[in-house]
């Protein structure tokens, strides 16, 4: 039989793996955009200053949904007596503080 301590450690390892995977995808996506910047600049006739807006907009578009589970957890905690309901919001809340 699995002890509660072992089950907790397994959940924490899973949370760390999920968040590590998400972080890898964010970095990989950002690297892809950075690699494509010269082509984007030529195709849209944008200078270096305007290309910074492309990077910023892309980063915000990727980061915004990653912050959503934390916000959902905060809102549901206030409405439901301090308990997060969704697994995503519990995971994000646990790992981010």
pLDDT digits (tens, 9 = 90+) for 39-72: 989 998 988 888 888 888 888 887 777 777 666 6
- Taking only the tens place, the pLDDT of each residue in 34-44 is 899 899 899 98
DSSP state of 69: H
Tell me what pLDDT residue 43 has.
Answer: 92
Tell me what pLDDT residue 51 has.
Answer: 86
Kindly report whether the global pTM for this prediction surpasses the value 0.85.
no
Contact 66, 21 (CB under 8 A): no
Output 50-59 pairs: Cβ under 8 A, ≥24 positions apart: 55/30, 58/29, 58/30, 58/33, 59/30
Tell me what pLDDT residue 61 has.
Answer: 82
């Amino acid at each position: 039989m699995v002890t509660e301590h072992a089950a907790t450690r397994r959940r924490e390892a899973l949370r760390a793996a999920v968040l590590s995977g998400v972080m890898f995808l964010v970095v990989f996506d950002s690297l892809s955009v950075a690699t494509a910047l010269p082509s984007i600049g030529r195709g849209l006739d944008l200078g270096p200053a305007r290309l910074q807006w492309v990077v910023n907009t892309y980063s915000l578009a990727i980061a915004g949904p990653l912050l959503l589970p934390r916000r959902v957890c905060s809102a549901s905690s206030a409405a439901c007596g301090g308990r997060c309901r969704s697994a995503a919001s519990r995971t994000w809340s646990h790992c981010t503080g």
